[in-house]
Structure 1
Amino acid sequence: MTEQYIYEVTVDVDVTILDAWKTWIVDHVNHIVNLEKGNLFSKSNIFEVNTGLLDPTTCTKGRPISFVIQYWATSANSIPTYIQKYSDELRKDGLEKFGDKMKASRRVLVEKKSIHNPPQTSTFGYVF
């Protein structure tokens, strides 16, 4: 199996800028995925963290909302290339627009194993 590299950004967004940030982040992520004609990242996913499903007693009213953005690298070299050539300018763009109303952290994930359900049909169950 070829290793899949994922550049992951977690962002805590202040509720006072949430609507503007949600609009901006889609364009921002689209721009990143299209860098170098799409040769750095093949796709990206934007997730909102939902802590209420794990603990319904959690109150998030007024607290920052967390998002996770995953960029699927086309190769092991894509992430260092992105960081060296583009990340400073793109981070600056977010900071100029939203200042300290958003906080980001980053990490790189390396997929080691992908596990899937066996194929199934509605009549016969598992297909081998």
Structure 2
Amino acid sequence: MIIYNVTVNIDDSVHNEWLEWMKSEHIPKVLGTGKFEKATLSQVLVEEDMGGQTYSIQYRSYSREALDTYYKEDAEGLRLEGFKKFADKMLAFRTELEIVDEYTVKFK
């Protein structure tokens, strides 16, 4: 399983608008591409020197091929929407993570 992680620092002046847009528009559009099975939106609990609020959005891809298809077919347009809306008020970087193993606690 591949996780496509997007870390975003958003300026406080547009934080609430950005967060609502992410929840109601952007994340549903990304999931609507059919290349991901789920998304997790998390706030990063570290204060940044640059200020603002930082979030991590982790999209679980169905496969490496699905993520590559997302890059080819969807990523540019969806990124552009955010850039047009929030331009110099946000900074984003992307990473890919591969799940090696998962563990759960078993209660007796």
Tell me, yes or no, whether TM beats 0.5.
Answer: yes
Higher helix share: 2
Question: Which structure: larger Rg?
Answer: 1
CA deviation after TM superposition for structure 1 residue 50, in Å = 1.0
Q: How does 1:55-94 map to 2 (within 5 A)?
A: 63-94=51-82
C-alpha separation in 2, matches of 1:23 and 1:115: 32
The change in CA–CA distance for 1:5 and 1:108 in structure 2 (over 3 A counts) is same
1:13 to 7, 10, 21: 10
User: Matched residues, percent identical?
Assistant: 28
Query: Contact 1:43–1:71 (CA<8 Å) still a contact in 2?
Result: yes
Deviation at 1:34, TM superposition (A): 1.2
* Moved segments of 4+, more than 4 Å: none
C-alpha separation in 2, matches of 1:43 and 1:62: 30
- Secondary structure at 2:64's aligned position in 1? coil
Q: TM-score if structure 2 supplies the norm length? A: 0.92
Q: State the partner residue of 2:44.
A: 49
User: How far, CA to CA, are the matches of 2:31 and 2:85 in structure 1?
Assistant: 20
In the other structure, the counterpart of 2:27 is 29
Q: TM-score, normalised by structure 1?
A: 0.78
Equivalent residues of 1:15, 1:62 under 8 A apart:
no
Q: Unaligned regions of 5+ residues in structure 1, if any?
A: 52-57, 121-125
**Contact 1:8 1:68 (8 Å CA) reproduced:** yes
SS in 2 for 1:91: helix
